[in-house]
Structure formats: structure tokens, C-alpha cells
Amino acid sequence: MNYGELPDQLNDILNFMLESTEDLIAIIDQDLNYQWINEDNFEEILGYTNNEVIGTYAPDMIHPDDRNYVFDMFKNINQTSTKEVQLELRIMHKNGFFKWFDSKSLNYLDSHEKPKIFVIFRDLTEKKKLEKKLKSTADKFLNLLNNSSDIVIVINENNKIETIHSGLFKDPLNYLEQEMIGRNWLDFIHPKEQEKLLNKFKKGFHKNFYEVQVLNKRGEFVDLDIRGASFKDENNKRKTLIVARDISKRKQVEKLLISSKEKRDLSYDKMLFYKDLLSHDINNILQSILTITELILLMEEKHEKSNEIQEYLENIKLQVQRGARLVSNLKILSDIEETTPLLRKTEVIHVLEKSIKSANKIYGNSLKIQIETEEPQYYIFANELLEIVFENIIKNAIEHNDNEKIELNIRASIEQIENRNFLIMEFQDNGTGIDDSIKKEIFSRNTRKQKNEKFIGLGLTLVKKIMDTYKGTIRVKDLKKGNKTIGSNFILLIPLI
């Protein structure tokens, strides 16, 4: 290409620049026809030879959707002023497909004062492919976020939330994005876990998840798994990316599994207990009846007439009653463990007097029971099982007593504990006492024997279970401190109404 009046050396430089560039360069006349092109680049990039382009109408090679923009571009270029116009457009390759170009156009007047347009086309095909690929990747990532149950948060070095993307994560947090952006992310973390998470934040999170409790908009703490990673942004500022996942349902399932296991273990314990009860207590009762029966039969064979037979028969009756009481207590215990008893306002002394009256009928003059009370009446929330509590404590005092005269002193008083009134009932007997080794376990259903091998039975276990339903307690101590042989003191503590 010759530039007319320019020095030859400058012409050579311009030609060298045109030949060295990878862009397409063209000169278009006022009728929009190609007048000159750098043919090597046109052929390499678009496949056209010089003869196939020169003289052709330039807009014919432009994508139909881009032609209006091209006409507007050329329209804005006039003869009187130089004006650069930039536009992205698509040009047809000789093989029929289109390639993207960034075009820069400048008008000028040639040596004959005729308007021309100088155009540079830079190939954007690879750039457009990359942009398309990046957009596709971004769309997939955004779609993944939008359809994810995870929440993604970016936190700056001042612990402030910069961006947040919640996707489908509407619950359990239930915040709007603007309600979280700009706030300290630790404000949402349970106070007990803030210091631990802050240390991890400073050191940089690891790949594993951390279980935390996060405050939602309703003021409830919900369980989340979070994972974090530190990075530096384009300004070389440290940021932390946190991905949080709702694990509330998983936690609920875990609790159900734990509860199920506990129920299974409890059922297994109950089975072992009932098995132990049947194999020991019932067997003991049956063995006693069998022994007495054999003695009676032996006396019958010898034709002996003795008052002892009547005593033996009474003993058999007593053993049968013991077995019936055991079965009844077992049923009550099972009902307590499986249902919630209905409690009502109950006067304690009246129920206690009924239990004492029943005991006096059985044991007569060998039993002496005295009652000392600060008040004539005490009211608690209880039910018909309160009578069983008293009967079993009284029975225990009688059965574990080797004295000819069985004495039981019952004292009732009121004590205030943490601004609430409680009824204290003490049952003080003159029995054999209880060894320290089993004092804490005597109310456990697995406690079977004392050191003298006498079976404790089910009574005290049942008392403990009933007291639990009354939100009360039972404990035992020596009647005289340090002396375990002269009696016990069973103490009930029950909330008063």
C-alpha cells in the first residue's frame, strides 16, 4: 500500500505494521464497499482472497442481527470530522459460519477529498468462546446455589458478612439477605460456641465440618454444619468463605435413635428385672409353701395332732398374700413406667391414718405407731398410690425388725427450700438398720439383698417410682448417726400445695 506524499521510510514502517498485525484492516468507501484490505489476514482469518472482497458491499458479510448497528455506525461517521466508533459484531467466514470481532472505525478524506472509513477488526472468537464457557459455568454454579439447601457466606477480615446466598435455605434461619449483610457473623452463633469458632476463623478453617447452633429470626437456635476456607480477593484482602448446611432433621433423627435405643435398653432392663423377680421372690414364696406342706404331710403320716398345723396353714396363707402383693406391686410399677398418673389435691394425714389402721389389723399389739405433726393437715398433689407408699414403708419397718415390740415413730413437718414449702415425713423404726453399702441403692429395683440375705422385695422400688411422679424424693439414714444396728429413718420430701 502506498501512502502518497509520505516519505518512503515512513511508508515502509506503516507497511511493516500492517503486515505484522494479527487484526483485519480495511478501507471502505462512502458507498460501503471494500476498497482495500490486508489480504493475508483476511484469507487466514476469514478465508477470503483479495479479489473475493474488494468491491463487495461490506454489510453483506455482517450477521443480519448486527447490520442495523453497522448502518448506525457508518451513519455517525461524516465527512467533516474524524470520529472513532467501536462496535462488537459478527462477520461471515467463507465457509458460512460467523466469527466475533471488535471493530474500531475512523473516517477520513483521501488525497482526492473523498470520504473513506478506516476499520480495524480484532478477532474475538476465542474470547467469546471463553466468555460463553464462563457464563455457562457461572449459570451452572448459580443454578446449583439456587437449588441447594446450603447457605454460602463471605466474611471480611473484620468478621462482617459481605455477601450471602441462601438458595432454598429459607428455613430455619428465615432472614432476608439485607438483615445479615454488614453484621458480625458471630452475632448469630450460640454464645457458648463463639470463642471456639473465632479461633478457627483466625487460624483458617479446615476441610471438616463443625456443628454449631445458629440463631434464627424467631429467636431459636438451630443446628448447622459449617465448613470454611480462607482466600484473598482481587485487592489482596483476606476473606473467608463459609458454607453452612441445615442438620436439624438429622439431629432429630439422631435424638429419635438415641431415644429408641434408650427405650430398648430400658425394656431389656425391665425384662431382666422381671425375670430376676420371678426367679427369686416368687420362687422363694413357692419354696416356703412347699416346705410347710411337706411338714404338714409328714405330721399326717405320723397321725400327730398338733397346734403347729394351724400355724403352718396360717403361714401358707401369709405366703400366698405375699405373692399376691408382689404381683399387685409389679402391675402398679409397670403402669407407672408406661403412663403418666393423674394427680389431684390430696390430704396426707388422712391417707396415713388409713395405712396405719390396716397395719394394726394385721400385726395387732406387737406394733406401736405414733404420729407427731406440726399441722393437722397437709395437702399435696398425689393419687391413690400414696397409700401404697405408706403401706410399703410401714411393712418394711415391720419385716426387718427382730424386736418383740415393733415401734415406728412418724413425724411430719414443713421446710422451705428455694422459696417453696415442702412436707417432710420421717418414718423412724427400731429395726435392724441398713448397711451403708446399700443406703444409696436400696430404692433401685436391681437391689436384691441385704448382707443377712433377706430379700428386700419390690416395695421400696415402688415407693421411689411413686415419689418421682409426685416430684418428691425418698432417702434413708441411721436413726442414730454412726450406729447402724438400732433402727432406720426413712425420709420423704414432697412439694406442698
Residue 352 sits in the same domain as residue 465: yes
Best mean pLDDT range from 263-277, 362-376, 420-434? 420-434
Residue 260 sits in the same domain as residue 274: yes
Confidence of residue 451 (pLDDT cuts 50, 70, 90): very low
List all residues 6 or more positions away from 418 whose beta carbon is below 8 Å from its beta carbon: none
Count of structural domains within the chain: 4
List all residues 6 or more positions away from 220 whose beta carbon is below 8 Å from its beta carbon: 172
Residue 242: which CATH number? 3.30.450.20
Residue with the larger pLDDT of the pair 304 and 122:
122
Cell matching residue 407? 415401734
**Chosen domain end from 91, 125, 159:** 125
Residue 280 sits in the same domain as residue 190: no
Mean local confidence (pLDDT), 321-334? 74
Whether residue 33 has pLDDT greater than 50: yes
List all residues 6 or more positions away from 203 whose beta carbon is below 8 Å from its beta carbon: none
Query: What is the tens place of the pLDDT at every residue in 390-406?
Result: 988 998 888 888 888 89
Cell matching residue 45? 482469518
DSSP state of 82: -
Q: Which of 38, 17, 16, 15 is nearest to 26 (CA)?
A: 38
Whether residue 448 has pLDDT greater than 50: no
Cβ pair 321, 338 in contact under 8 A: no
Q: Is 47 left (phi over 0), alpha (psi -120 to 50) or beta?
A: left
Residue 459 sits in the same domain as residue 362: yes
List all residues 6 or more positions away from 248 whose beta carbon is below 8 Å from its beta carbon: 172, 222, 223
Confidence of residue 146 (pLDDT cuts 50, 70, 90): low
Residue 233 lies in a domain: yes
Q: Which of 313, 479, 454, 457 is nearest to 392 (CA)?
A: 457
Residue 130 lies in a domain: no
Residue 268 sits in the same domain as residue 327: yes
Place of cell 395387732: 364
Residue 333 sits in the same domain as residue 347: no
Residue 201 sits in the same domain as residue 225: yes
DSSP result, 27-41: EEETTSBEEEE-HHH
Residue 304 sits in the same domain as residue 314: yes
Cell matching residue 347? 390430704
> Given this model, what pLDDT does residue 281 score?
66
Place of cell 403401706: 391
Mean pLDDT of the chain: 82
Q: Tell me the residue type at 409.
A: N
> Given this model, what pLDDT does residue 426 score?
97
Q: For strand 344-347 and strand 221-232, is the pairing parallel, antiparallel, or unpaired?
A: unpaired
Residue 332: which CATH number? 1.10.287
Residue by residue, what is the 3-state secondary structure of the chain? CCCCCCCHHHHHHHHHHHHHCCCEEEEEECCCEEEEECHHHHHHHHCCCHHHHCCCEHHHHECHHHHHHHHHHHHHCCCCCCCEEEEEEEEECCCCCEEEEEEEEEEEECCCCCEEEEEEEEECHHHHHHHHHHHHHHHHHHHHHHCCCEEEEEECCCCEEEEEECCCCCCCCCCCHHHCCCCEHHHHECHHHHHHHHHHHHHCCCCCCEEEEEECCCCCEEEEEEEEEEEECCCCCEEEEEEEEECHHHHHHHHHHHHHHHHHHHHHHHHHHHHHHHHHHHHHHHHHHHHHHHHHHHHHHCCCCCHHHHHHHHHHHHHHHHHHHHHHHHHHHHHHHHCCCCCEEEEHHHHHHHHHHHHHHHHHHHEEEEEEECCCCCEEEECCCHHHHHHHHHHHHHHCCCCCCEEEEEEEEEEEECCEEEEEEEEEECCCCCCHHHHCCCCCCCCCECCCCCECCCHHHHHHHHHHHCCCEEEEEEEECCEEEEEEEEEEEEECC
Residue 300 sits in the same domain as residue 374: no
Confidence of residue 264 (pLDDT cuts 50, 70, 90): confident
**Chosen domain end from 216, 246, 276:** 246
> Given this model, what pLDDT does residue 455 score?
41
> Given this model, what pLDDT does residue 447 score?
41
Taking the C-alpha atoms of residue 110 and residue 158, their distance in angstroms, rounded to an integer, is: 62
Residue 443: which CATH number? 3.30.565.10
Mean local confidence (pLDDT), 66-87? 73
Residue 315 sits in the same domain as residue 345: no
DSSP state of 206: -
Best mean pLDDT range from 105-109, 275-279, 334-338? 105-109
Question: Taking the mean position of all CA atoms in its chain, how far away is CA 219?
Answer: 16
**Chosen domain end from 246, 265, 283:** 246
Residue 293 lies in a domain: yes
Residue 142 lies in a domain: no
> Given this model, what pLDDT does residue 26 score?
94
Whether residue 247 has pLDDT greater than 60: yes
Instruction: Provide φ and ψ at 111, rounded to 5°.
Output: -65, -15
> Given this model, what pLDDT does residue 291 score?
81
Best mean pLDDT range from 10-24, 117-131, 281-295? 117-131
Query: What is the tens place of the pLDDT at every residue in 272-324?
Result: 666 666 666 677 677 778 887 887 777 777 766 666 777 777 778 777 877 77
Q: Tell me the residue type at 137.
A: T
> Given this model, what pLDDT does residue 79 score?
47
Residue 3 lies in a domain: no
The beta strand positions in 60-124, using DSSP E, are 84-92, 98-109, 115-123
Confidence of residue 225 (pLDDT cuts 50, 70, 90): confident
Taking the C-alpha atoms of residue 306 and residue 27, their distance in angstroms, rounded to an integer, is: 145
Residue 295 sits in the same domain as residue 380: no
Taking the C-alpha atoms of residue 415 and residue 243, their distance in angstroms, rounded to an integer, is: 55
> Given this model, what pLDDT does residue 402 score?
86
> Given this model, what pLDDT does residue 347 score?
97
> Given this model, what pLDDT does residue 232 score?
84
Residue 366 lies in a domain: yes
Residue 172 sits in the same domain as residue 187: yes
Residue 483 lies in a domain: yes
Mean local confidence (pLDDT), 213-225? 88
* Residue % of the chain over a pLDDT of 70: 82
> Given this model, what pLDDT does residue 450 score?
41
> Given this model, what pLDDT does residue 273 score?
64
Q: Which of 77, 80, 124 is nearest to 105 (CA)?
A: 77
Confidence of residue 377 (pLDDT cuts 50, 70, 90): very high
**Global pTM value:** 0.44
Domain span at 326: 252-339
Whether residue 163 has pLDDT greater than 80: yes
Residue 140 lies in a domain: no
32: which strand partners?
Answer: none
